[in-house]
Amino acid sequence: MNPSTALARVMVDELVRCGLTDAVVAPGSRSTPLALAFLDEPRVQVHVRIDERSAGFLALGLGRASNRPAAVVCTSGTAAANFLPAVMEADEAGVPLLVLTADRPPELRGTGANQTVDQIGLYGSAVRMFTEVGVAEPVPGMNAYWRSLVCRAWGAATTPSGPVHLNVAFRDPLVPSGGETWPEPLDGRTGREPWIRGDLAERADRPVELPAVERGVIVCGDGDYDPAPFLELAAATGWPLLAEPTSNARRDPALASSAYRQLLACGDFVAEHRPELVVSVGRPGLSRQLISYLRSASRHVVVGPPNGFADPARTATDRVTAVAPPAGASPVTAWARSWHQAEVAGRAALDDILDAEAALSEPRLARDLVAALPHGALLFAGSSMPIRDLDATMTARRGVRVVGNRGASGIDGTVSTAVGAALAHQGAGGGPSFALLGDLALLHDQNGLVLGPEEPTPDLTVVAVNNDGGGIFSGLEQAGHPGFERLFGTPHGVSPERVAAMAGVEHMVVQWADDLTKALDGPGLRLVEVRTDREESAALRRRTQRAVCAALA
């Protein structure tokens, strides 16, 4: 066995022993040993993508939905640079990811050799760990080095979760060849155990009992954590639960506010509802109103690990790993009653506006989509208006998991991430998956729809809002300025139907709200288009906000 093949096979075997189940491979020559080793490993599901950026985000989606690292492999050169957006998202969102970049051996670097760039520390501080693996040599000690390194990388990617980069240099020959002997056995531990075993169970601190105040608020931001303790806290105290969609804490309508985004934009309401205490978990930050509201509390308890808690408004006064309700807490208070009355009035005003038109508006699409999804479904939300419309309109419900790229909140890789999340979701026995994206996000990652004939196909319906441009800017300060339409609106004139035809996926257009549920029913990878107008959508959002504030008054 030649050295490059030996290195690749040992790494792949040890990754599987650690728990790896999926590897995404982008084609290339220098990465041949790893690609062949993964393909020859029956315990790994291999996914092939021709676009490295798409491959990176596919691996990100697999890791996001399964909470287990997926490996992504590429050749040397600019291929590795295309992983950077996915690495940055994995870093900010805390998603486990193993990036394996093939490289030229040291003697070919800095010589002008083809397809050679400096890949050392390529992703900077965005990775939890970087190692230059080094060229394989047939000398004793290599097996222990490679296997222990893989275990360290796996641990770095999972505790706490994030991306890890191993840069692997391969010398020719890159394909398996005979005639060479290895000076030591290349076997792993007996019983298919990993080389390094350890107790990876979390050791959370004892829950901290919260102060006995009436005017408390619970904020659940984006993140892969168990929301149950915070639902229990809300039930015990009566504190309103302000849950962003990807927190997956918006489950119980008796506890979670579904109109808080509009409530916090009403000045009189905010002035009358200043909290004494805010308890937050995850990464809040979908609305300026919520960030501003965090600043109004005299005490802000953040729940999270010491080196990874979110405090976007820099208002944290306490940091703990777990919380417990105050002794003797009661959910029946004037504070709880006031929030409940506001929620009922605001929700009714919001729904009245959305139901006034039979055609699907962008906010109504978000609300109706979540309500129509079957139990056990997964919903991937685009990072621009889709996630904000979900935040503003979706009612509390159980049985749907909402995910999105909320770490760096970029537009790139959304289709590929949704495909990866859908594959992991159905691989774990989950129901069908859906994605709510804007047309620019779809165009930005249309390669994510391109699957080879031998690739696993997700049961994923992509619902694309086509308003011919970037709708989020219509609600920001840039709207109305000279050059707005060209610089920010960015109309493109490309129909999603043409994108679907390029990728060979089913396409349909839905106009009326009553037709949405039927359009969502279908197997495989599908594209459902909903055509809207950017200016009308922005006006509708303003109208609903005024209606909510009027209802409170």
Domain boundaries, the chain: 3-192, 208-337, 357-552
Any residues with CB less than 8 A from the CB of 197 and at least 6 apart, and which? none
- Helices and strands counted in the chain (H then E): 19, 20
Q: What is the DSSP string of 253-269?
A: TTTEESSHHHHTT-HHH
Q: Which CATH number fits domain 3-192: 3.40.50.970, 3.30.930.10, 3.30.1360.120, 3.40.50.620?
A: 3.40.50.970
Q: Rounded distance, CA 356 to CA 94, Å?
A: 41
Which positions of the chain have pLDDT values less than 70? 179, 198-205
Position 444 scores a pLDDT of 95
With tokens 């009326």, the residue in question is 512
Q: Which two tokens stand for residue 472?
A: 């989020």
Position 474 scores a pLDDT of 78
CATH architecture of 208-337: 3-Layer(aba) Sandwich (3.40)
Position 487 scores a pLDDT of 83
Any idea which fold 357-552 has?
A: Rossmann fold (3.40.50)
| Strands 506-509 and 525-531, bridge-based pairing | parallel
Task: Summarize the chain as % helix, strand, coil (round to 5).
Answer: 40, 20, 45
Position 159 scores a pLDDT of 82
β-sheet with 433-438: strand ranges across? 400-404, 377-381, 433-438, 460-466, 525-531, 506-509
Which letter does DSSP use for residue 185 in this model?
-
Q: Rounded distance, CA 269 to CA 276, Å?
A: 15
Position 519 scores a pLDDT of 97
Q: Which residue spans within 338-414 are E strands per DSSP?
A: 377-381, 400-404
Query: The dihedral of CA 427, 429, 432, 436: what is its sign?
Result: negative
Cβ atoms of 50 and 25 within 8 Å: the answer is no
Q: Rounded distance, CA 417 to CA 59, Å?
A: 7
Cβ atoms of 455 and 58 within 8 Å: the answer is no
Q: Rounded distance, CA 259 to CA 348, Å?
A: 10
Position 198 scores a pLDDT of 53
Which letter does DSSP use for residue 329 in this model?
-
By CB atoms closer than 10 A (0-12, 13-18, 19+), residue 267 is exposed
| Common-topology check for domains 3-192 and 208-337 | yes
Which of 276, 234, 237, 278 is closest to 256 using CA atoms?
A: 234
Q: What is the CB neighbour count within 10 angstroms for residue 533?
A: 15
Q: Rounded distance, CA 198 to CA 154, Å?
A: 12
Cβ atoms of 218 and 279 within 8 Å: the answer is yes
Position 116 scores a pLDDT of 85
Q: Rounded distance, CA 464 to CA 441, Å?
A: 9
- State the Cα angle at 462 between 244 and 447, rounded to 5°: 110
160 upstream amide cis, omega within 30 of 0: yes
Any residues with CB less than 8 A from the CB of 55 and at least 6 apart, and which? 24, 25, 26, 47, 49, 72, 74, 83, 416
**For the stretch 151-163, what's the b/e string if a residue is b when 16 or more beta carbons lie within 10 angstroms of its beta carbon?**
bbbbbbbbeebbb
Q: What is the DSSP string of 422-443?
A: HHHHHHTT---EEEEEEHHHHH
544-to-257, 284, 299, 321 alpha-carbon distances in Å: 16, 23, 32, 38
Q: What is the CB neighbour count within 10 angstroms for residue 386?
A: 29
